[in-house]
């Protein structure tokens, strides 16, 4: 499979739409410039396109495997590709210089994660988990743990995992049963079984650092009694070198719909007496520590959605340009140039164009949302003052569930449309279109299902700052709409009008949610998922319109500017226009969901 990172699009959205350029040349990013951002993207694009993408199809066909006595083996070429990834310093991009990181913006690292996952999602999952482990350990780990483990995690020499789920405890961690017993030397013996552990074992790195949720013997019930532990695959000697094997093993691999090259492990801790681990953060406060890792992962899973959408779009576009079938309708541009005795490429057909433009515009909208969330996090960590940091944190908190859920739902939609463009050939594995759909389907489930993201948005994020956080973002979107509407260009003014209409629906729906959250919570929860979709559609329109306004200032005839303007106009007319249709689903209440009892549903 071929993939070429859309570097100019990515740099433009980072710098000019998401606002990374506002941080360049200041404070912690004094050496950052738009040229440096584009140079990093260009270099990463080479690894993604030339090394990782060629392994995507073969990795899917071969899959990861568990070999008796040897552990998990990744598909051919993965270990060598990972070595090149480490040698390029890609794991250290946004990490703190205190432990060997390069100290570049997190938003730039988000863009790089898009590349790794677009070229090879099964491969790209490994760095995502490591990034989350780095975040959690940096924020909550004791100094001695940070000094021992962070340099190796940041370099990529070691990888990280997140161990939450158990056979009886999925989204509800109240049911978690893994145990951790304190030892005299300050360590803990961890026992229990975890499932769905991405890269829980593999042959790409010399050590794996597991972050494991478990309960202390005297822990209170429920989530208030969960602690977080660092459990390495290999214990460390006094000098920091690798020592004996810890009692943490993969005992099975899940057979999955997609991402076959990524090992999804059943992990056993303490099968031979106990896996030695060390507490991260405070006792019984593990969930708060883990959420540092999970929030990072939620943004990056949203970015995976962008990645799969981009890859599926590129694949479908290439097929549509090559596949010849039938005759183009009269009046279609270029139809007069097709000889009478020849068929035309299907890209000339209006319906195929509609599908391609839908794929393209949705992908760019989601990319903008994810990058803007990354930039907000950079403001939260590196802002010039406390007020800027607080505003960045609030914006990131608001956008994270939208970035995760809207982008991953869009990925499934875009990948499905890609299959449709391929026609019958899309339904067979030969063309590769089906793999994007299979790989994408896990993304709305990972790191908190999208229904949970919708509940988080409505229940936790809308009330932030007594509702002022969402009001500020809506006001910002309205400014974009007004600027576009008042322009002298019909395409921009049309985008502005479409955005204003979407904002009006969003404001009405937001007021409804705020009221029902207090007066009738089931009604708010019933409409949460369509509300998140509505929010994502409008936010996407805001960012695409902002990008179109920026592009309109480029020299006349610039092909990139033409693309941005056309994409924004299509989105406003054909995608964002669907916002009004969601109003009924958002505000329909819970009663229709319970009209039928369980027996009637079965009848």
Active-site residue list: 447
C-alpha to C-alpha distances, 574 to 147, 355, 570, nearest whole angstrom: 52, 11, 6
Give CA angle at 6 (445, 375), nearest 5°.
65
Cα separation of 222 and 87, whole Å?
43
DSSP string covering 445-489, please?
Answer: TTTS-HHHHHHHIIIIITTGGGGHHHHHHHHHHHHHHHHHHTSS-
Residue 167 — φ and ψ, nearest 5°?
-50, -35
Residue 267: name the closest of 205, 188, 214 by CA. Answer: 214
Cα separation of 201 and 72, whole Å?
6
DSSP tally for the chain: helices H, then strands E = 19, 12
Cα separation of 62 and 152, whole Å?
29
- Asked if 565 and 491 touch (Cβ cutoff 8 Å), the reply is yes
Cα separation of 476 and 511, whole Å?
17
- Look at residue 297 and give its three-state secondary structure: helix
**HSE, side-chain direction, 13 A CA sphere, residue 494:** 15
Structure tokens at 481: 């709409």
Q: Within its chain, how far is the Cα of 583 from the centroid?
A: 26
Neighbours of 433 (CB within 10 A): 25
- Asked if 408 and 304 touch (Cβ cutoff 8 Å), the reply is yes
Per the listing, tokens 């409505």 go with 458
H or E element, residue 264: strand 264-269
Residue 249: name the closest of 270, 229, 277 by CA. Answer: 270
H or E element, residue 208: strand 207-214
DSSP string covering 110-139, please?
Answer: HHHHHHHHHH-HHHHHHHHHHHHHHHHHHH
* Local structure of residue 345 (DSSP, 8 states): B
Neighbours of 468 (CB within 10 A): 12
Give CA angle at 498 (495, 500), nearest 5°.
110
Per the listing, tokens 């083996």 go with 73
Q: H-type helices in 489-527, by residue range?
A: 490-519, 521-526
In the chain, the N- to C-terminal Cα span, in Å, equals: 46
H or E element, residue 375: helix 350-382
Per the listing, tokens 């409008």 go with 538
């Amino acid at each position: 499979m071929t993939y070429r990172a859309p570097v100019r699009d990515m740099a433009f959205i980072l710098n000019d739409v998401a606002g990374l350029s506002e941080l360049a040349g200041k404070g912690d990013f004094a050496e950052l410039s738009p040229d440096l951002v584009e140079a990093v993207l260009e270099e990463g694009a080479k690894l993604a396109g030339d090394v990782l993408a060629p392994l995507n199809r073969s990795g899917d066909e071969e899959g990861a495997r568990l070999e008796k006595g040897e552990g998990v083996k990744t598909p051919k070429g993965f270990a060598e590709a990972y070595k090149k990834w480490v040698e390029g310093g890609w794991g250290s991009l946004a990490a703190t210089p205190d432990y060997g990181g390069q100290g570049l913006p997190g938003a730039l690292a988000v863009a790089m994660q898009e590349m790794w996952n677009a070229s090879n999602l099964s491969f790209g999952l490994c760095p995502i988990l490591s990034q989350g482990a780095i975040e959690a350990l940096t924020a909550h780990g004791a100094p001695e743990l940070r000094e021992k483990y962070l340099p190796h995690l940041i370099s990529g020499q070691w990888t990280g995992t997140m161990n939450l789920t158990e056979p009886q405890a999925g989204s509800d961690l109240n049911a978690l049963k893994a145990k951790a017993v304190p030892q005299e030397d300050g360590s803990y013996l961890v026992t229990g079984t975890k499932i769905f552990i991405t890269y829980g074992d593999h042959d790409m790195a010399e050590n794996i650092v597991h972050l494991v949720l478990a309960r202390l013997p005297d822990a209170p019930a429920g989530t208030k009694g969960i602690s977080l532990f660092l459990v390495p695959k290999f214990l460390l000697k006094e000098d920091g070198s690798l020592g004996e094997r810890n009692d943490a093993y993969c005992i099975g691999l899940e057979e999955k719909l997609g991402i076959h090259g990524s090992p999804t492990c059943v992990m056993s801790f303490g099968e031979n007496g106990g896996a030695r681990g060390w507490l991260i953060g405070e006792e019984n406060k593990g969930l708060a520590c883990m959420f540092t890792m999970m929030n990072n992962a939620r943004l990056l899973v949203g970015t995976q959605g962008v990645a799969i959408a981009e890859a599926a779009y590129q694949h479908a576009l290439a097929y549509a340009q090559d596949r010849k079938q039938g005759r183009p309708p009269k009046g279609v541009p270029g139809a007069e140039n097709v000889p009478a005795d020849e068929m035309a490429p299907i890209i000339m057909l209006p319906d195929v164009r509609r599908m391609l433009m839908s794929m393209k515009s949705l992908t760019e909208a989601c990319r903008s949302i994810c990058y803007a969330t990354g930039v907000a996090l950079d403001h939260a960590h590196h802002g010039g003052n406390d007020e800027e940091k607080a505003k960045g944190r609030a914006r990131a908190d608001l956008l994270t569930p939208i970035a995760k859920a809207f982008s991953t739902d869009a990925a499934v939609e875009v990948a499905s449309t890609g299959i449709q463009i391929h026609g019958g050939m899309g339904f067979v594995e030969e063309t590769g279109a089906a793999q994007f759909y299979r790989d994408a389907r896990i993304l709305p489930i990972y790191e908190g299902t999208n229904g949970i993201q919708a509940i988080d948005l409505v229940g936790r994020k809308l009330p932030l700052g007594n509702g002022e956080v969402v009001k500020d973002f809506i006001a910002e979107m309205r400014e974009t709409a007004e600027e576009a509407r008042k322009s002298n260009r019909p395409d921009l003014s049309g985008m502005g009008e479409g955005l204003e209409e979407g904002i009006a629906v969003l404001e009405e729906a937001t007021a409804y949610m705020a009221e029902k959250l207090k007066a009738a919570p089931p009604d708010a929860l019933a409409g949460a998922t369509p509300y998140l979709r509505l929010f994502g559609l409008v936010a996407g329109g805001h960012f695409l319109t902002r990008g179109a306004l920026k592009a309109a200032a480029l020299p006349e005839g610039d092909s990139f500017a033409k693309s941005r303007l056309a994409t924004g106009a299509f989105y406003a007319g054909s995608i964002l226009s669907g916002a009004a249709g969601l109003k009924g689903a958002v505000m329909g209440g819970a009663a229709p969901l319970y009209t039928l009892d369980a027996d009637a549903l079965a009848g």
